[in-house]
Amino acid sequence: MLLSSLITKVFGVKRNRLDTDRKNRMSSLLFFRKFPSLYSFIQQQLESSESHSQLLFINPILIILSKLIISKNFNNIYDANKFLPLIENIIYNCHDGRLRRQAVHTYCRLLPSTSYSNVLADFNHRFIEIETKMAKLNYLHGFAMILAKIAQEFCLLTMNSSTEDLSTVLLVELYENLIKIFKNQSILNGIILGILHQAHYRIYLCLKLRNQSIIFKDHTVILEENLIKLIDNNEGQEAYSFYRFNGSNISAHTQYVRFDE
């Protein structure tokens, strides 16, 4: 209750249910000029691996950061870009699904759209690691969640812009890497696979909107093939019980998941 009151006092009353209105956000430079001591404190807490296991302690910091917009001022002594790799570390390594979910939300809210191409390139590089190494479930879950969220942002950008850039090439590579993952059954966990299908479909829509000439395999067929394989392998149908495919709309509802390894 106290945190909610403080956030309302600093950032204003929520203007929509999802709390996405820019009027409820503030530039990082303005915020840390008002509260300068918070900059070093937040950086220290994000760097501390012990804090990552304390949901009630680190979660408020992520909520506050999700309200900020990174300033483009080159003389900015409060560079919020430094927080991005620290939040990314939480996404890939923390053991609490609720904390990971908030970290993904904060990361994508902070990430400037000009950095999307770099993030896509990083995703494609991580696919190589997934194919060649035995990645932990926490890592895979974080990767799937952030990939699905970034794919959603790309869809929104594509709907509002018809420009072609490097990101289109990277999206095609990402699409093909996902198909390879599905075909090779590199990931069999139902929850993670469901989120990856969500990301895959969003990338498909994005490339379709960009009038790409590459031949797409029907996304529904890919989903059905993997579902059958999971059932045949006794993986359990419960993993896909939250997964919906309705014509042009696809959504996955993940529960709070903790993968103990």
Predicted confidence at residue 252, as pLDDT, reads 40
Mean pLDDT over 46-69 rounds to 79
Same domain, 4 and 123: no
3-state secondary structure of 188: coil
- Strand-pairing partners, residue 249, are 246
Higher pLDDT, 17 or 207: 207
Q: Is residue 228 pLDDT above 80, yes or no?
A: no
3-state secondary structure of 204: helix
* Among 83, 111, 139, residue at a domain's last position: 111
Same domain, 57 and 149: no
Predicted confidence at residue 243, as pLDDT, reads 38
Same domain, 105 and 180: no
Predicted confidence at residue 57, as pLDDT, reads 78
Range of the domain at 63: 1-111
Same domain, 140 and 99: no
Predicted confidence at residue 240, as pLDDT, reads 37
- Strand-pairing partners, residue 26, are 68
Q: Is residue 257 pLDDT above 60, yes or no?
A: no
Predicted confidence at residue 241, as pLDDT, reads 34
Strand 26-27 with 68-69, pairing: parallel
Q: Is residue 260 pLDDT above 60, yes or no?
A: no
List, for residues 75-101, the tens digit of each pLDDT value: 778 889 999 999 999 999 888 888 899
CB burial string 230-245: b at 16+ within 10 A, e below:
beeeebeeebbeebeb
Residue 19 lies in a domain: yes
Same domain, 167 and 245: yes
Cβ proximity of 80 and 57 under 8 Å:
no
Same domain, 24 and 77: yes
* Among 111, 130, 153, residue at a domain's last position: 111
Q: Is residue 122 pLDDT above 70, yes or no?
A: yes
Task: Give the pLDDT band of residue 233 (cuts 50, 70, 90).
Answer: low
Question: For the chain, what is the mean pLDDT?
Answer: 76
Q: Which residues are CB-contacts of 94 (< 8 A; sequence separation ≥ 6)?
A: 52, 53, 100, 103, 138, 142
* Among 66, 86, 111, residue at a domain's last position: 111
Encoded tokens for 159: 């709907």
Q: Output the CA–CA distances (angstroms, integers) from residue 108 to 56, 87, 222, in the order listed.
A: 21, 10, 27
Task: Give the pLDDT band of residue 13 (cuts 50, 70, 90).
Answer: low
Mean pLDDT over 57-74 rounds to 86
DSSP 85-116: HHHHHHHHH-S-HHHHHHHHHHHHHHS-GGGH
Predicted confidence at residue 236, as pLDDT, reads 42
From CA 120, how far away is CA 165, in angstroms rounded? 13
Mean pLDDT over 12-22 rounds to 59
Residue 244 DSSP code:
E
Task: Give the pLDDT band of residue 53 (cuts 50, 70, 90).
Answer: low
Mean pLDDT check: name the lowest of 24-38, 151-165, 200-214. 151-165
List, for residues 164-178, the tens digit of each pLDDT value: 566 788 888 898 888
**Which stretches of the chain are DSSP H helices?**
2-11, 28-34, 37-47, 55-65, 83-93, 97-110, 116-132, 137-160, 166-184, 190-209, 219-232
